[in-house]
Structures are given as structure tokens and as C-alpha cells.
Amino acid sequence: ILQRGGYKTIQFSKTLKIDEIIVLRMAPPQKGKQGTKGAKQIVEENVATLNFYRNMAIFSNALSLIILVFYNSTISIILYLFSCLVYIGTYQFMVYMAKPKYTDSGQLFDSGVDLNMEGGIAEHIKDIIILTAICQLTSSIISNYFWLLWLFAPARGFWILWKNILAPYFFQPGQADPEVNDKKQKKMERRMKRMNH
């Protein structure tokens, strides 16, 4: 096997004929680390993400409102208004996070936060929109008891708080008293002196 540039040539051990040499075009191997997204690409993906979640909220609200017109109750109206507030709050927060900044000349200065980044706060905000849409649609079609699914949001928030902040704080190993460490140090020094004599 011979490799030159982006071509890989495989030769067989028989008498070489033209049809026995196979030339395959391969992409040259990438050197270094994987490339990161450019600022312009982040802005474009953020716009697409914002449009997707805006459309999800509008569809859920529209369908729920149509059903609410025919089968309304006080609790259904309150829950509908609650979902509207959640959609508005989460969407505006994502818009604020993803807002790009431009220079006076119109060049992109800062692309804003990447809404599609894994592990970021935008991921949790998108989950809240999805959970609200699921609760809203299932409660308007089946039963208002499906709004109890929304209790997963504070439960998950508490779990993240516990895992990242509270548990490490409560279960971190305690620091020994400095006096005890000084005593141990002096004791070790005395032992070393005895061994030397």
C-alpha cells in the first residue's frame, strides 16, 4: 500500500497490469484538534433554534386555545395563562442570551451564547419549553392532571443544585485542626531525630 498526497494505491503481488492497480481518492487526514464553530455559524444556528422553539410554543398555545374555547374551566384558563408566561419568559431569556453584538461598522463582534451547546443553561431552558408544551397539549386533550408533569422542572432543578453545589459542600472531607497537624509534624521530627542518633 502506497500513499501519496490524498491518494492511496493498493498493489497486488501478481504481475502488475493497469487494471490491477486500484487508486482510491481519500480525504487527507485532519491534523490537530477539531475546528470550532465560527461566530457567524453560531448566530445562524441560534436564529434557527429560536424559530423552532417559538413555533413550538405558538403551535401548543394555538391548539390549546382552540380546545379551551370549547372545553373551558377556571383552572384550564389559569393553567393556559401560566403556560403563556412560561413561554414568554423562557423565550425572551433565550433571545437575550443569543443576542449578537455588532461593531459600529456592522461587523459581528460577539455571537452571543451558543444555544445548542451541550451542558449550558440554554439546554435547561429548552427543556422547560418542551415540558410546558407536553403538559399543555396533554392537559388540553386528555386531562388537567397532566399539568402535574410540570413538577419535574423544580425536581430537576433541585437535582442539579444538589449534584453540583449542595452534595459536594455537605460531603466534602473535613479539614483537620491545624494544631493536630502541628503536633503530628513535631512528632515526626522527633522520630527522625531518634533515627539519626
131 sits in which H/E element: helix 121-141
- Give pLDDT tens digits for 140-161: 888 888 999 999 999 998 998 9
pLDDT mean over 157-166? 89
Residue 30 has pLDDT above 60, yes or no: no
Give which of 90, 151, 138 is closest to 115, Cα–Cα: 90
Q: DSSP characters for 47-97?
A: HHHHHHHHHHHHHHHHHHHHHHHHS--HHHHHHHHHHHHHHHHHHHHHHHH
Sheet order of strands, 2-4 included: 2-4, 7-10, 22-25
Q: Is the pTM of this model over 0.85?
A: no
Domain chopping of the chain, boundaries:
39-170
Please state, in angstroms and rounded to a whole number, the distance separating the CA atoms of residues 175 and 172.
9
